[in-house]
């Protein structure tokens, strides 16, 4: 029997945050095992990252004609079979309904590259940078939160970090700084959840 937390990591793309979790697990810095990486996209580079580390992967795409409710329920059953302690949405680009979430109350966490309430949805960093250029904000940030329902990038906040925007920043440099901050915060939050330092009701 392993006393390591069981993680299912769900991705849709590059998987740099997945990589941060893999690296932390392999370095012994996170008492966890990734029991499966699930992608809704067959071409997600994160799948290659997982395979390089002998982590089981699965592609579950929503097929034409399949309702969201049916897809989410099937996805929920599939993920539940891995008996995860935590389901980590690390760049998972589909909104999950209660048909999925009901399997994992208080156990699904999401990462968003903006502060709570800011820029929900896609292209958050780009929109933050545009707002900075218009003089509407002086910094941005990131957050990790629980996913209780279908709210987009919304839910009980577990942790935030601010990310400064510097005068010489380009969108690329801001994205790089934001992602580097995400990689640290996601691993840090997972460690604290697993150790029970962050209290989440079971």
Per CB under 6 A, residues contacting ligand GRF are 11, 13-18, 46, 90-91, 111-113, 179, 182
Query: Minimal CA–CA distance to 117: which of 94, 137, 101, 89?
Result: 137
Contact 129, 171 (CB under 8 A): yes
Instruction: Give the nearer residue to ligand GRF in terms of CB position, either 107 or 145.
Output: 145
Instruction: Give the nearer residue to ligand GRF in terms of CB position, either 29 or 69.
Output: 29
In the chain, DSSP finds a helix count (H) and a strand count (E) of 6, 7
Instruction: Give the nearer residue to ligand GRF in terms of CB position, either 7 or 18.
Output: 18
Instruction: Give the nearer residue to ligand GRF in terms of CB position, either 68 or 177.
Output: 177
Residue 179 catalytic? no
Contact 79, 87 (CB under 8 A): yes
Catalytic residue among 112, 123, 145, 179: 112
**Whole-angstrom distance, CA of residue 5 vs CA of residue 197:** 14
In this chain, which residue has its C-beta nearest to ligand GRF? 91
Query: Minimal CA–CA distance to 132: which of 93, 161, 175?
Result: 175
**Whole-angstrom distance, CA of residue 111 vs CA of residue 120:** 11
Question: Minimum Å distance from CB 13 to ligand GRF?
Answer: 4
Question: Minimum Å distance from CB 127 to ligand GRF?
Answer: 13
Q: Which residues are catalytic?
A: 112
């Amino acid at each position: 029997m392993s006393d390591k937390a069981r993680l299912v990591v769900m991705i849709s793309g590059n998987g740099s945050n997945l990589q941060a979790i893999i690296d932390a697990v392999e370095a012994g810095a996170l008492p966890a095992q990734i029991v499966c990486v699930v992608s809704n996209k067959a071409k997600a580079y994160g799948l290659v990252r997982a395979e390089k580390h002998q982590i089981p992967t699965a592609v579950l795409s929503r097929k034409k004609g399949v309702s969201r409710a049916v897809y989410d329920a099937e996805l929920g059953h599939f993920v539940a079979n891995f008996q995860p302690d935590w389901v980590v949405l690390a760049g998972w680009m589909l909104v999950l309904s209660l048909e999925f979430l009901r399997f994992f109350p208080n156990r699904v966490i999401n990462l968003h590259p903006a502060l709570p309430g800011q820029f929900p949805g896609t292209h958050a960093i780009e929109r933050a940078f545009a707002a900075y250029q218009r003089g509407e904000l002086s910094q941005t940030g990131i957050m990790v939160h629980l996913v209780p329902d279908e709210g987009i990038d919304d839910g009980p906040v577990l942790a935030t970090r601010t990310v400064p925007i510097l005068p010489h920043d380009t969108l690329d440099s801001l994205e790089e700084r934001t992602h580097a901050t995400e990689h640290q915060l996601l691993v840090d939050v997972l460690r604290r959840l697993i150790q029970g330092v962050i209290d989440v009701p079971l």
